[in-house]
Amino acid sequence: MSVFAGYAPWYDLLYEDKNYSSEVEFVEERLRHHGTAPGKLLDLGCGTGVHAIEFARRGWSPAGIDLSQEMIAQASSRAEQAGLSIPFRQGDACQSGTERDFDAVVSLFHVASYQNNPKSLEGLFRTAHAALKPGGIFLFDYWYGGAVLTQGVETRVKVKERRPLRLTRIAQSNHDELNATVFVNYTLFCEDMDQGLIRRVEETHRMRYWFPFEIESSLRSCCFEPVGSYAWLSDAPPNSKTWAAYSIARKIAER
């Protein structure tokens, strides 16, 4: 079962303030900078499809894969409502499917940090490699270890409301520094205010933070040429002020 199964129906409300459009604009600029014009694009860990739809509106031909059947259903429905034909499928992003000859592969919103060990991370990289054309570009983000270690973890509360719905999420984290892992324990109270009903959902998300030297070593072992690692939404190196980093790599021939 997907880790998102419990609150997949509430996911879009929870992240309605996330600026998907500006993120896609930035990622597209990075792809263009590295010689990839709008073409076929695969979104690994596509969630409810918002990034993919934004790419489609900019002239790309996207496809998406996600482990959560619930999220794939929402992505397909969202694309249909937008008048777009985007192939979304349920599947493990760490296991190669039939997707081939893509100009670019992206994996956004920390999918790489849901891979808790190098073997799993390299499974994600090999899926991207199999899907890309020779010379194709792979861009993905993740939690940056330097920022996690500097800032530490804390309890956070988020409340979102869109009548008749109200969502309260409490995130309590445990840091396993020995294994470079943060266990984020979510408790969600999902309330229908009109009916006076409250549903409680509990999930634990195990997040692995990475350092660029680890990322680049795994990329090379999967026949990618690392291009660079940066702080999210910038062209500066990763830094201790922001947890989010991203890396870019180019597919080279298999050995």
Q: What is the mean pLDDT of residues 60-67?
A: 98
Q: What is the pLDDT of residue 253?
A: 75
- For residue 80, the tally of other CB atoms under 10 A from its CB is 11
Q: Is the pLDDT of residue 6 over 80?
A: no
The closest alpha carbon to 24, from 48, 60, 63, 67, belongs to 60
Q: How far apart are CA 55 and CA 47, in angstroms?
A: 14
Q: What is the pLDDT of residue 15?
A: 86
Confidence grade of residue 14 (pLDDT, cut at 50, 70, 90): confident
Confidence grade of residue 8 (pLDDT, cut at 50, 70, 90): low
Q: Is the pLDDT of residue 1 over 60?
A: no
- Per DSSP, 237 falls in state P
24-28, 193-197, 238-242: lowest mean pLDDT where?
Answer: 193-197
Q: What is the mean pLDDT of residues 200-221?
A: 96
Q: What is the mean pLDDT of residues 215-233?
A: 98
7-21, 63-77, 203-217: lowest mean pLDDT where?
Answer: 7-21
* 85: Cβ contacts below 8 Å, ≥ 6 apart: 79
How confident is the model over 103-112, as pLDDT tens digits?
999 999 999 9
Q: Is the pLDDT of residue 17 over 90?
A: no
Q: How far apart are CA 237 and CA 220, in angstroms?
A: 20
108-122, 149-163, 185-199: lowest mean pLDDT where?
Answer: 185-199
Q: Is the pLDDT of residue 255 over 80?
A: no
Determine phi and psi for 239, rounding to 5 degrees. -145, 170
The closest alpha carbon to 230, from 35, 19, 29, 55, belongs to 29
* 45: Cβ contacts below 8 Å, ≥ 6 apart: 65, 66, 67, 93, 107, 108, 109, 111, 114
Domains of the chain: 8-143+211-251 (3.40.50.150), 147-208 (2.20.130.10)
Mean residue pLDDT across the chain: 93
Q: Is the pLDDT of residue 7 over 80?
A: no
Q: What is the pLDDT of residue 2?
A: 46
Q: Is the pLDDT of residue 10 over 80?
A: no
Q: What is the pLDDT of residue 163?
A: 85
Q: What is the pLDDT of residue 3?
A: 43
